[in-house]
Amino acid sequence: MGRYLEIRDLEVTYAAADGGTTTAVRRFDLDVDEGEFVSVIGVSGCGKSTLLKVVGDILASSRGAISLHGQRPAELRRAGRIGFVFQEATLLPWLSVERNVAFLAGLAGRAPSAARVAELVALVGLDGFQGRRPHELSGGMQQRAAIARALALEPDLLLMDEPFGALDEITRDRMSEELLKIWAASRVTILFVTHSIPEAAFLSDRVVVMTPRPGTVQRVVEVTLRRPRDRKLKVSDEFMEYVRILQTELYRSMEP
């Protein structure tokens, strides 16, 4: 373990429709340790997704510095070392699960072996479905395939932007539990954006609460709940206290 992701004085400003400019993120600082699971919460429009896209070198920052284990995000993204999972699975509809899983790593010039693909398919609980097409899978199963596709890159960092936001509550809870099992097995460093306070508390080692736009760090809350975590934890007083703390910080962030 060691400091892995460093974000310093990050600012993201872009042109607005009225001809002016909008600052989405300002003076944002964060350190993430290797193998850590960190979630980011905040009100809509606070810059959570923008933050993730800048870290993943999808958007450019206006100011500040980002370092991943001493390398710039652009270097790692070009090498296919950053995995991204979006709210929609975005699987290629004409490819089977196993071919979807291997697709991005193949584009990066590091096509996984058939054995590795089979291992990842089993890891995300899709063993027996490797030959199916996306339309033959449920929404939760499609997201599992998207996670396996990101892991096939052997990423140094996995960025997840509301990956379960489109799922029903029961499926979302089940997927959160599955994600923790996958994370425990892979120990990949995860930066996870969510609107759900309980989801953030359940998944994370730490939760970053962002202020409204321009988004910066309101508070970083360390979550010391026991691991491994299961659904029984969600009805405990200890868990509900973390939910209360995070909810209080979120409300505080909106105070003038």
**pLDDT tens digits for range 48-90:** 999 999 999 999 999 999 999 888 888 888 888 899 999 888 9
* Main-chain phi, psi angles of 68, to 5 degrees: -115, 100
66 shares its domain with 167:
yes
Contact (Cβ atoms closer than 8 angstroms) between residue 219 and residue 10: no
142 shares its domain with 160:
no
**pTM greater than 0.85:** yes
- For 16-38, the pLDDT digits (tens) are 788 889 999 999 999 999 999 99
- For 145-173, the pLDDT digits (tens) are 999 999 999 999 999 999 998 888 888 88
Q: Is residue 86 part of a domain?
A: no
Domain that holds residue 188: 3-81+155-253
The confidence band for 3, taking pLDDT boundaries of 50, 70 and 90, is low
| Burial (0-12, 13-18, 19+ Cβ within 10 Å), 182 | buried
* Structure-token pair, residue 175: 């997927």
Q: Please report which helix (H) or strand (E) contains residue 193, including its range.
A: strand 189-193
pLDDT above 70 for 2: no
pLDDT for res 1? 46
107 shares its domain with 135:
yes
Antiparallel, parallel or unpaired: β 37-41 and 189-193: parallel
Count of domains in the chain? 2
64 shares its domain with 171:
yes
* DSSP type of residue 217: E
66 shares its domain with 165:
yes
136 shares its domain with 29:
no
In whole angstroms, what is the distance from residue 250 CA to residue 2 CA? 29
